[in-house]
Amino acid sequence: MSGWYVSYRAGAGTVMSLAKSRDEAISIARGLLDRKIDVQEIGPLLGMRDPGDFIDSVEIRKLHAMRTYAG
């Protein structure tokens, strides 16, 4: 797979940040959540996409909470 995106709310619109890997996208999302930015979704940019490839806002917050409690 050749890249991932993180979509998040910015003002009245939705913005995307790009990442080279799933792990990098998750790290970007966690940083946005640390700054109280509303992250919407993480997903692959290209290629075959399975429903399990996407991480929705609920799952992103769970991952963020796990890191917060572990660290």
Per the rule left: phi > 0, alpha: psi between -120 and 50, beta: everything else, 13 is: beta
Judge whether 19 and 3 are in contact, CB under 8 Å: yes
Pick the more confident residue, 25 or 49. Answer: 25
pLDDT of residue 58: 86
Residue 71 has pLDDT above 60, yes or no: no
Q: What is the pLDDT of residues 18-48, one digit of tens each?
A: 999 989 999 999 999 999 999 999 999 877 6
pLDDT of residue 51: 66
Domain segments of the chain: what residues?
Answer: 4-70
Fill in the amino acid letter for 35. R
